[in-house]
Amino acid sequence: MQRPTTVGALRAAGTKILPVKDEIRRNLIARLRDRKPLFPGIIGYEQTVIPDLINALLARHDLLLLGLRGQAKSRLVRHLPSLLDEHIPIIKGSELNDDPFRPVSKAAVDLVRQYGDEVEIEWIHRDQRFSEKLATPDVTIADLIGDIDPIKAATQRLHYAHEGAIHYGIIPRSNRGIFAINELPDLQPRIQVGLFNIMEEKDIQIRGFNVRIPLDLLLVFTANPEDYTNRGNLITPLKDRIDAQILTHYPHTLEDGITITQQEAWVRRGGPEVHIPRLFREIVEQIAFEARASEYVDQKSGVSARLTIASMENLVSNAERRAIMTGEAVAVPRIVDLHHALPGMTGKMELVFEGEQEGAVKVSKALIGKAIRTIFTKYFPDPLQKQPRERTERPERVARDQVYAPVVGWFEKGNHVEVTDEASSADFLKELRRIDGLEAITKKHLADLDANELASAMEFVLEALHQCSKIAKDEADRRTSYTDMVGSIFSPNSEPDEDP
């Protein structure tokens, strides 16, 4: 179907043009009725953030997404243009996307006044109706709203108060669309004040000249909580003018976190196949949960979902590197590979003073250890569970206390085992099978293991026993050695416990 090309043809076709918020509301209602997905790829917000966002859009509200870093605020904002009409008509060549029936810029008004229904129109796609600006301290009013362009005024011989001398900023150029500002508190307070008129009167005013241009906009802002950074704050009068404030959050469940990381992390690379056991997906995600509860991590800054994504990608990369070096077609991550996840962690956590004293690497290793210990107790009896004081113990408790006795006893005899991130899968499994009872314990509590996962699961049990202080561990030159706990105390090469 051919679209109208003039204002008159558009009028004859009976086209109705709605304000942008009404347009979004209409399309949102249609999607809700048809039960079509609104925000694909947004996980964990189905019962919290998304209902609030829908309510705000139905109420035709400008809105603020408030939350810590890495909570998909920007991604949510970038889904909003999908609620716009696919194409809308504007006066051809208009800087402000002028409505053919209700133009607002002087150039478009003069054009319609002179040529009437013969004025040409063009159609723009919804993607052209979304503008986004990252707030930084150097952003000016001219960037956002506009300013008088002396070159344009001189060239066209216009008075400075003439609308034709204005160079429009990004906000008026977003007219009849969605404009988003990310990290709003980073705008200087005087620049935030400049947004008052847009929020309240829905128009712009350039300097002191008598030029007021009404705008049709949905304004969306994102921000971290005000106490997150010393760079700036969201001033209260502007916050009061934003109709809806929607709080975002981190995943509430491990399963949501795993799904997000699985969706975002680049793990299928076309090289050797890297098979990631469920166990390792849980460990990586649990690291973030531990960090978000750690006393050494500044909880005001948050722990981004990017931590788990980067950690998973580093973990996969080390397994991929090993497969390339050994010539194996399939690689499985190992606990020893988690050391290479540290570069994806240390730069993504803001530490409090005590954490800085311990050091980012030490805190990160401690978080990995806690994550392993937490996941271990989901599948295995807890080696640290307190014993009853009664002299007579239940038979099942006695049996449980003996679960790890063969493994611990093997180390108490003076034996040790050494694992490395470069050993082939066969050598890795052969080394771990030397330990009495380890394979049997692993298979008993992780019944769904396939052949490729067995060795990594056995190493997981060893590491968990170390984290529970049942056996000792030494790390040197990318090699990990597990030994007897008592013997390691008197060993000159043993390292102190890294848990702060």
| SS3 of residue 201 by DSSP | helix
What is the mean predicted confidence (pLDDT) over 421-427?
Answer: 93
Q: How far apart are CA 337 and CA 372, in angstroms?
A: 13
Give the total residue count for the chain: 500
Helix (H, G, I), strand (E, B) or coil at 447: coil
Q: Which long-range contacts (CB under 8 A, 24 or more apart) does 232-237 make?
A: 232/137, 232/185, 232/186, 232/187, 232/188, 232/189, 233/185, 233/189, 234/184, 234/185, 234/192, 235/189, 235/192, 235/193, 237/193, 237/196
Q: What is the mean pLDDT of residues 29-34?
A: 96
89-145 confidence digits (pLDDT tens): 999 989 899 999 999 888 899 899 999 999 999 999 999 999 999 998 889 888 998
**What pLDDT is stored for residue 48 in this prediction?**
95
pLDDT in tens, 309-361: 999 999 999 999 999 999 999 999 999 999 999 999 998 999 999 999 999 99
Tell me: pLDDT of 488 over 90. Answer: no
- pLDDT beyond 90 at 478: no
Q: Give percent of the chain above pLDDT 70.
A: 88
- CA angle, 230 then 236 then 237, to 5°: 135
Percentage of the chain modeled with pLDDT above 90: 70
Residues 214-262 pLDDT 10s:
899 999 999 988 554 455 688 888 889 999 999 999 999 999 999 999 9
* Residues 291-313: tens digit of each pLDDT: 999 999 998 888 999 999 999 99
> What one-letter code names the amino acid at 464?
A
Cα separation of 176 and 390, whole Å? Answer: 76
Lowest mean pLDDT among 208-212, 265-269, 389-393: 389-393
Query: Beta 130-134 vs 203-205: how paired, if at all?
Result: unpaired
The correct answer on CATH 1.10.8.80 for the domain covering 254-379 is yes
Question: Mean of the pLDDT values across residues 182-210?
Answer: 81
Q: Which residue would you say has higher pLDDT here, 66 or 388?
A: 66
What is the average pLDDT score of the chain? 88
pLDDT reading at 400 higher than 90: no
Closest CA to 220 of 178, 167, 278, 172: 178
Q: What residue has token string 């300013």? A: 147
Q: Which one is predicted more confidently, 156 or 29?
A: 29
Quickly tell me which residue has 């558009």 as its tokens: 10
The full set of domain ranges for the chain reads 7-247, 254-379, 395-489
Instruction: Using DSSP, state whether 122 is helix, strand or coil.
Output: strand
Yes or no: say if 297 and 351 are a contact pair by the CB < 8 Å rule: yes
Angle, in degrees to the nearest 10, between helices 306-326 and 278-291: 140
Note whether 260 and 438 are within 8 A (CB): no
- What pLDDT sits at residue 64? 95
**Is a pLDDT exceeding 60 seen at residue 67?**
yes
Residue 398: band (very low, low, confident or very high) from pLDDT cuts 50, 70, 90: very low
- 256 burial class (0-12, 13-18, 19+ CB within 10 angstroms)? middle
Backbone angles phi and psi of 169, in degrees to 5: -85, -170
Fold of 7-247: Rossmann fold (3.40.50)
pLDDT at res. 208: 59
What's the mean pLDDT in 170-186? 93
Closest by Cα among 469, 461, 417, 410 to 439: 461
User: Rounded to whole angstroms, how far apart are CA atoms 448 and 374?
Assistant: 20
CA angle 376, 277, 254 (to 5 degrees): 60
Q: Which helix (H) or strand (E) holds 434?
A: none
What the block records as the tokens of 357 is 């004293």
**Is pLDDT at 159 greater than 90 in this prediction?**
no
What does the pLDDT read at residue 496? Answer: 46
